[in-house]
A = this chain, B = another copy of it.
Amino acid sequence: MEGKTFDKLRKAEDQFVEKIADNMQTFGVSSTVGRVLGTIYMNREPMTLDELSENLGMSKTRMSQVVREMLDLNIAEKVFERGVRKDLYNVERDYYQTFISLFTSNWHKAINKSKMFEQKLHRELVDLQEDEMVNEEMEQKINELLIETKEWVEYYHWISRLIDFFESGEIFEHVPKHTTKKD
């Protein structure tokens, strides 16, 4: 009876997929995104929306949404194959790279949102400062806020540099993928 062994193996694979999904939730993406990535990963070759839908027991619509989200996050890519009409999707197979993609995608978004805000707030504060009707105490408070804003901008610049540090792979020079024996 090999069916039982097969079932167990299948179960182990599912557990693994679930673990990948779980890991990805730490980045704030939904578990379904993680499961789709895990499923394609385990499949070892690109899959179509229909295959994913079938395999995960979810609607094709949902698969479409999720795959698009993954393309945005740079953890999946569309693959062309002669003779196949359906779109095929493949995923990043390197855990480290996936980590970096998710980490940086998140912060890229945050940085973009932040930029407008800072400029706007800065302008408002300067306008306020130039108003003649401000007393000593207000003046003081405005200055404090201007300083805060400056620090905030510096902080975001740091995050920006941090992203580069990851994306360029420099991080691996200081936190290597594999520990050497002489550790």
Binding site for B on A (CB under 8 A): 1-2, 5-6, 8-9, 12-13, 15-16, 19, 22-23, 26, 28, 95-96, 99, 106-107, 109-110, 113-114, 117, 121, 124-125, 128, 131, 133-135, 138, 141-142, 145, 148-149, 151-152, 154-155, 157-159, 161-162, 165, 170-171, 174-175, 177-179
In the complex with contacts A158-B177, A175-B165, A2-B99 CB distance below 8 A: no
Chain B contacts of A26 at CB under 8 A? 28, 106-107, 109-110
Question: Across the interface, do B151 and A23 meet the contact criterion of CB distance under 8 Å?
Answer: no
Copies in the complex: 2
Instruction: For A11, give the chain B residue with the smallest CB separation.
Output: B124
Task: State the Cβ distance, A2 to closest chain B Cβ, in Å.
Answer: 6
Q: Which of A109, A113, A135, A155 has the most CB of B within 10 A?
A: A155
